[in-house]
Amino acid sequence: MKRTFMTVITMAAVLFVAGSAVAQQDLVETVVNGCKAEMDKFCSQVTPGEGRMLACLFAHGDKLSPKCEYALYDAAVQLERAVAALGYVANECDADLEKFCSSVAAGEGRLLQCLENNDKKVSKRCKNALKEVGLR
């Protein structure tokens, strides 16, 4: 079964997320630390999760402090870098994921584990990409 580019991107995203819990926490902390005053003032009644706090901050965008605006900008730049890393991993590991992991369900780190289980057979390109984005 030939995977579409979006499937590979999704698989790469799963790989990236599985290996980047610390990076995700850093993004959250960046926004929380930079926007604490605004979150307390405008969003204290909002239940966190599923983007609700960001939506709240967006709704009050004209009232955000420069510190909060910078924190949101910084988090956006970090996310942009993560998306670029995903594209890189998807490109470099596409053939390896197809060859060794096509029957593996995405999620819970299974694809990354599959690549690790096949480490001796995985291409140098893929190994280097995983290393460069911090998944190895």
pLDDT tens digits along 15-72: 445 445 556 677 788 888 999 999 999 999 999 888 888 899 989 999 999 999 999 8
Cβ neighbourhood burial of 93 (10 Å; 0-12, 13-18, 19+): buried
Task: Name the more confident of 95 and 14.
Answer: 95
For 72-122, the three-class secondary structure string (H helix, E strand, C coil) is: HHHHHHHHHHHHHHHHHHHHHHHHHHHHHHCCCCCCCCHHHHHHHHCCCCC
Q: Is the pTM above the cut of 0.95? A: no
- Rounded to whole angstroms, the Cα distance separating 55 from 61 reads 10
Task: Give me the pLDDT at residue 83, please.
Answer: 79
Does residue 3 surpass a pLDDT of 90? Answer: no
Q: What is the mean pLDDT of the chain?
A: 82
Task: Give me the pLDDT at residue 112, please.
Answer: 85
Task: Give me the pLDDT at residue 37, please.
Answer: 95
Task: Give me the pLDDT at residue 121, please.
Answer: 96
Residue type, 89: V
Contact 57/39 with Cβ under 8 angstroms?
yes
Task: Give me the pLDDT at residue 22, please.
Answer: 55
Residue type, 50: E
Report for 16-25, 58-67, 74-83, 101-110: range of highest mean pLDDT: 58-67
Percent residues over pLDDT 70 in the chain: 82
- Rounded to whole angstroms, the Cα distance separating 131 from 136 reads 5
Does residue 122 surpass a pLDDT of 60? Answer: yes
Give me the residue spans of the domains in the chain.
5-132
